[in-house]
């Protein structure tokens, strides 16, 4: 489930940019990627993602394509695939140089959008390392690739809104045929007069077609005991979804700790 995490960590996930550390010299390669997502039509000629080397050294990269699925906690599962073609698989960028990786798919559209990720990994420098070598951080870029379905249907829902054991939780479900991205979720707890006694916001992640994303946030016991109803508002790149619910749990709040 999504819980309280730093905005910095979530931002790294949103940018789909990670780094790996290996013994070598220098710092991570500075690489500009444009665009940060690829959209394909089934049977299309393809699109290109541009990589620009912003560092003052030549950098080698290796590309691979993977199917992309994920669980309700937003944890991704990637598996190598040949369903989507790309070129080149290996490339070297000189300082300031920009080169494309072309991506396409020849199969016909299916009923539901297909999701992949183009992973571009920096390779270690060629040759022996100097005795003074420190820590070399190798850049790893993961670009989402979406293959359009036969018919695009946007449908998002907020379900299972509840307060149990001082935990405010809910599920964002995607029964549509295309992915949407949760930009922000707002959780509100209202007292018996309808006044807000608890308000929190959480950034989100992608919700793939047929999938869902769960959120859970600990509520301070003092505030929890005043909550009689719940409101959730989820802002996505394809619209805003809302849901409200009364507090029905037999034990909505945890027992306060005795000093």
* Dihedral of alpha carbons 181, 211, 216, 170, sign: positive
Domain 7-147, architecture per CATH: Sandwich (2.60)
Q: Would you list the domain boundaries of the chain? A: 7-147, 157-246
For residues 103 and 49, what is the distance between their CA atoms, to the nearest angstrom? 8
Task: Give the strand pairing for 157-164 and 85-87.
Answer: unpaired
Q: What was the pLDDT predicted at 134?
A: 56
pLDDT in tens, 220-246: 999 999 999 999 999 999 999 999 999
Q: CATH fold of 157-246, please?
A: Immunoglobulin-like (2.60.40)
Q: What was the pLDDT predicted at 130?
A: 58
Residues 6 or more apart whose CB falls under 8 angstroms from that of 45 comprise 104
* Dihedral of alpha carbons 65, 60, 20, 22, sign: positive
* CA dihedral of residues 135, 16, 188, 250 (deg, nearest 10): -80
For residues 47 and 28, what is the distance between their CA atoms, to the nearest angstrom? 27
Place of tokens 């301070």: 220
Task: Give the strand pairing for 196-202 and 206-207.
Answer: unpaired
Cα atoms in the Cβ-side hemisphere of radius 13 Å centred on 210: 7
Q: Among candidates 120, 135, 130, which has minimal Cα distance to 60?
A: 120
> Which residues, given as ranges, of the chain have pLDDT below 50?
4-26
For residues 140 and 122, what is the distance between their CA atoms, to the nearest angstrom? 6
Q: What was the pLDDT predicted at 5?
A: 39
Q: What was the pLDDT predicted at 135?
A: 61
pLDDT in tens, 114-152: 999 999 999 987 766 555 555 667 889 999 999 999 999
Cβ-contact 109, 42 below 8 angstroms? yes
End-to-end CA distance of the chain: 30
φ, ψ of residue 14 to 5 degrees: the values are: -65, -40
Q: How many helices (H) and strands (E) does the chain have?
A: 2, 19
Place of tokens 């299916």: 110
């Amino acid at each position: 489930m999504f819980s309280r995490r730093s905005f910095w960590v979530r931002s790294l996930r949103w940018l789909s940019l990670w780094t790996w550390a290996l013994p070598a010299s220098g710092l991570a390669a500075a690489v500009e990627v444009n665009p940060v997502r690829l959209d394909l039509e089934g049977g299309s000629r393809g699109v290109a993602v541009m990589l620009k080397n912003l560092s003052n050294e030549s950098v080698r990269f290796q590309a691979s394509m993977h199917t992309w699925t994920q669980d309700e906690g937003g944890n991704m599962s990637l598996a190598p695939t040949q369903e989507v073609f790309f070129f080149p698989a290996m490339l070297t960028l000189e300082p300031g140089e920009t080169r494309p990786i072309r991506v396409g798919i020849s199969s016909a559209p299916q009923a539901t959008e297909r999701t992949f990720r183009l992973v571009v990994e920096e390779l270690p420098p060629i040759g022996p390392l100097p005795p003074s070598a420190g820590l070399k951080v190798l850049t790893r870029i993961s670009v989402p690739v979406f293959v359009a379905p036969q018919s695009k249907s946007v449908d998002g829902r907020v379900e299972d809104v509840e307060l149990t054991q001082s935990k405010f939780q809910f599920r964002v479900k995607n029964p549509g045929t295309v992915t949407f991205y949760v930009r922000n979720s707002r959780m509100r707890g209202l007292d018996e007069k309808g006044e807000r006694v608890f308000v929190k916001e959480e950034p989100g992640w992608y919700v793939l077609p047929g999938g869902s994303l769960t959120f859970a946030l600990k509520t301070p016991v003092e505030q929890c005991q005043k909550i009689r109803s719940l409101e959730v508002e989820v802002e996505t790149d394809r619209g805003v979804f809302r849901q409200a619910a009364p507090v029905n749990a037999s034990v909505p709040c945890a027992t306060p700790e005795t000093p």
